[in-house]
């Protein structure tokens, strides 16, 4: 695990630093990011990081400490960025709850530090308390293709989380998700995919239950990770792997995982058949990181394995709830491999699902559905939109393919016992129209998945 927010310079931790770090390591912490609050704590943090290889530093002026913010402070701050252990600017932001500094100077300091982050292509760690609108306004005014942030100790509403994530930034929650009477926060958290989360303790503050009120320590991170796994109904390993990958993306700490041919999330095993696709959906990250739940699914054609490799990795299919053909490409491009693997799964008592764009008949130049009978138990077809023009635009594909997908769906009902159509819930897509089209026109199940 990586504790992305732990203030090692505060006396509560600093006075016992060796023990704090050793305890963290033996509880499964690999790295700690220690954000600063002013120039003095930035320098102290760098000293700590020089001593402990597992510690990295964010330097910055916390909103509480901005009362005397000026250009000289900014110049001094910039000098610290040269240090190899400094990997981010933070924490910066707005705090209208305590208001130790005026709103005006807080906003100036926040904006200037965002500009500094852009200049050095560094991520920012953002603190916010009761300043949602001003904070998002300034961030959105400054954001560009190289500015990304961690909205730490998130306490905004769902709409704010969504805005943050659409800008490809991350959110993190602290021990407060373990407190009773926090349904609001939990309900927001439920709707944020782990791909957009980071782990943090915010030590020495925000101790999780049952340590509430006591000094928080990075070794408590496990409690928060376990809570996230419980809320998202996935495993502890899923949360750790996914958030570690997120840390790699944002802070460039750790390493890119090796590509996976099969990957397990919860108790489902997914088969990464191919990266090749006949469409080029605007929301697809195939050309980006091509990652899911912390797995690296990037697979050039030359690396595509034969069926036997997938079969070996599956082992006993009864150990999984389901074996799903799904990746960043269109599985029916490798129909023979899908059929061979599915046959193995069915012969050994497993359950199969195929995730497809529904263009398999065009791709293979024949009706492939009779061939899938008995091999595929469930098929999920990407509907994307009930509007052919929008469908064509979103997938960057000819409009005729919409009708191809519709015919495939109708035909699938004859051969496969469960047929579901899915859409990605983009703001521009009419969800209710899509649901009605699925249920009334196509007579199949409908599932919307949030675009995060
Ligand atoms: Zn903070
Ligand atoms: Zn903090």
Q: Which residue in 417, 271, 414, 276 sits closest to 345, CA to CA?
A: 271
Give the class (CATH, top level) of 2-251: alpha beta
Counting ligands in written order, the one closest to the CA of 155 is 1
Helix residue ranges per DSSP H, 204-330:
221-232, 236-251, 307-314
pLDDT at 451 (0 to 100)? 60
Radius of gyration of the chain (CA): 24
**Rounded to the nearest whole angstrom, what is the distance from the C-alpha of residue 315 to the centroid of ligand 2?**
45
Counting ligands in written order, the one closest to the CA of 204 is 2
What average pLDDT does the segment 301-326 reach?
97
**Rounded to the nearest whole angstrom, what is the distance from the C-alpha of residue 91 to the centroid of ligand 2?**
6
Counting ligands in written order, the one closest to the CA of 95 is 1
What average pLDDT does the segment 396-423 reach?
96
8 Å CB contact between 274 and 299: yes
* Interstrand relation of 149-151 and 170-173 (parallel, antiparallel or unpaired): parallel
Counting ligands in written order, the one closest to the CA of 63 is 1
Residue range 285-313, pLDDT digits in tens: 888 888 999 999 999 999 999 999 999 99
* pTM of the shown model: 0.88
Share of the chain above pLDDT 90, in %: 90
**Rounded to the nearest whole angstrom, what is the distance from the C-alpha of residue 152 to the centroid of ligand 1?**
6
Q: Which residue in 135, 218, 225, 139 sits closest to 178, CA to CA?
A: 225
pLDDT at 289 (0 to 100)? 86
DSSP tag of 442: I
**Rounded to the nearest whole angstrom, what is the distance from the C-alpha of residue 257 to the centroid of ligand 1?**
30
Tell whether the model's pLDDT for residue 450 goes beyond 70.
no
pLDDT band at 327 (very low <50, low <70, confident <90, very high): confident
Tell whether the model's pLDDT for residue 99 goes beyond 90.
no
**Rounded to the nearest whole angstrom, what is the distance from the C-alpha of residue 121 to the centroid of ligand 2?**
21
**Rounded to the nearest whole angstrom, what is the distance from the C-alpha of residue 120 to the centroid of ligand 2?**
22
What average pLDDT does the segment 60-89 reach?
97
Q: Which residue in 318, 259, 269 sits closest to 294, CA to CA?
A: 259
pLDDT at 427 (0 to 100)? 74
Q: How far is CA 60 from CA 65, 81, 123, 184, in A?
A: 10, 10, 12, 30
Residue range 183-232, pLDDT digits in tens: 899 999 999 999 999 999 999 999 999 999 999 999 999 999 999 999 99
pLDDT band at 355 (very low <50, low <70, confident <90, very high): very high
Tell whether the model's pLDDT for residue 452 goes beyond 60.
no
Give the class (CATH, top level) of 262-450: alpha beta
Topology alike, domains 2-251 and 262-450: yes
pLDDT at 441 (0 to 100)? 93
Residue range 234-284, pLDDT digits in tens: 999 999 999 999 999 999 999 899 999 999 999 999 999 999 999 988 888
8 Å CB contact between 198 and 170: yes
Q: What is the mean pLDDT of the chain?
A: 95
Estimate to the nearest angstrom the gap between the alpha carbon of 309 and the chain centroid: 28
Counting ligands in written order, the one closest to the CA of 3 is 2
Counting ligands in written order, the one closest to the CA of 92 is 1
Residue range 424-439, pLDDT digits in tens: 877 788 889 999 999 9
The residues spanned by each domain of the chain are 2-251, 262-450
């Amino acid at each position: 695990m990586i504790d992305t927010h732990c203030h090692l310079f505060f006396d509560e931790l600093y006075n016992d630093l060796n023990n704090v770090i050793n305890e963290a390591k033996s509880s499964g912490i690999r790295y700690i990011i220690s954000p600063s609050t002013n120039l003095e704590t930035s320098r102290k943090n760098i000293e700590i990081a020089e001593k402990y290889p597992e510690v990295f530093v964010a330097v910055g002026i916390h909103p509480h400490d901005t009362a005397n913010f000026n250009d000289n402070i900014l110049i001094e701050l910039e000098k610290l960025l040269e240090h190899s252990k400094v990997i981010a600017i933070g924490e910066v932001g707005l705090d209208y709850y305590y208001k130790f500094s005026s709103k005006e100077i807080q906003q100036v300091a926040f904006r200037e530090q965002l500009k500094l982050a852009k200049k050095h292509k560094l991520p920012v760690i953002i603190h916010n308390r009761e300043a949602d609108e001003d904070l998002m306004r300034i961030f959105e005014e400054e954001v560009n293709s190289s500015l990304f942030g961690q909205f730490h100790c998130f306490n905004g509403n769902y709409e704010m989380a969504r805005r943050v994530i659409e800008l490809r930034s991350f959110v993190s929650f602290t021990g407060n998700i373990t407190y009773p009477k926090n349904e609001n926060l939990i309900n927001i958290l439920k709707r944020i995919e782990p791909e957009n989360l980071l782990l943090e303790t915010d030590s020495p503050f925000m101790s999780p239950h049952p340590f509430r009120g006591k000094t928080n320590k990075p070794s408590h991170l496990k409690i928060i990770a376990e809570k996230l796994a419980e809320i998202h109904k996935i495993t502890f390993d899923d949360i750790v792997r996914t958030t570690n990958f997120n840390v790699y993306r944002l802070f460039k700490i750790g390493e890119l995982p090796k590509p996976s041919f099969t990957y397990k999330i919860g108790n489902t095993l997914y088969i990464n058949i191919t990266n090749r696709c006949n469409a080029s959906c605007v929301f697809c990250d195939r050309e980006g990181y091509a990652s899911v739940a912390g797995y690296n699914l990037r697979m050039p054609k030359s690396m595509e394995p034969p069926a036997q490799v997938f079969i070996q990795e599956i082992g006993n299919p009864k150990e999984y709830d389901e074996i799903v053909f799904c990746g960043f490409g269109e599985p029916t491009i490798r129909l023979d491999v899908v059929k061979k693997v599915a046959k193995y799964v069915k012969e050994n008592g497993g359950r199969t699902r195929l995730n497809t764009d529904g263009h398999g008949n065009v791709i293979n130049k024949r009706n492939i559905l009779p061939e899938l009978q008995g091999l595929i138990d469930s098929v999920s077809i990407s509907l994307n939109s009930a509007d052919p023009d929008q469908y064509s635009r979103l997938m960057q594909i000819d409009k005729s393919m919409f009708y191809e997908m519709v015919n495939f769906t109708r035909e699938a009902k004859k051969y496969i016992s469960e047929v579901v159509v899915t859409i990605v819930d983009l703001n521009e897509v009419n969800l209710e129209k899509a649901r009605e089209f699925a249920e009334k026109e196509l007579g199949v199940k409908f599932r919307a998945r949030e675009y995060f």
